[in-house]
Amino acid sequence: IQRIRGLLHLRKNDEELAVYHLKRGLTIFETAEDLYHTALTHFLIGEVLSENDPKTASNHLIAASERFRKIGVEKYFAEAEEL
């Protein structure tokens, strides 16, 4: 639900609230040890922050890339590497 809320705020161009909800979702996925959704949420946070906070975005994209590689999701691994 938190990731969905984050995506809704992103559509409303509210980056701050989008990142807030995405990070809450990230915490939930990490606690549940859900590698795919953890990686996907890192990727989304990295995309959102890429313009205004490139250092933090890079950290999230690296985390996404590592997790996607670990679980063998090539499509997202390649996209995370490109950003």
Q: What is the pLDDT of residue 79?
A: 76
Contact 25, 2 (CB under 8 A): yes
- 21, 2 contact by CB (below 8 A): yes
pTM here is 0.89
Token readout for 53 is 């906070």
Q: Tokens standing for 7? A: 């995506």
Question: What is the pLDDT tens value at each position of the chain, 83 positions in all?
Answer: 999 999 999 999 999 999 999 999 999 999 999 999 999 999 999 999 999 999 999 999 999 999 999 998 877 777 777 76
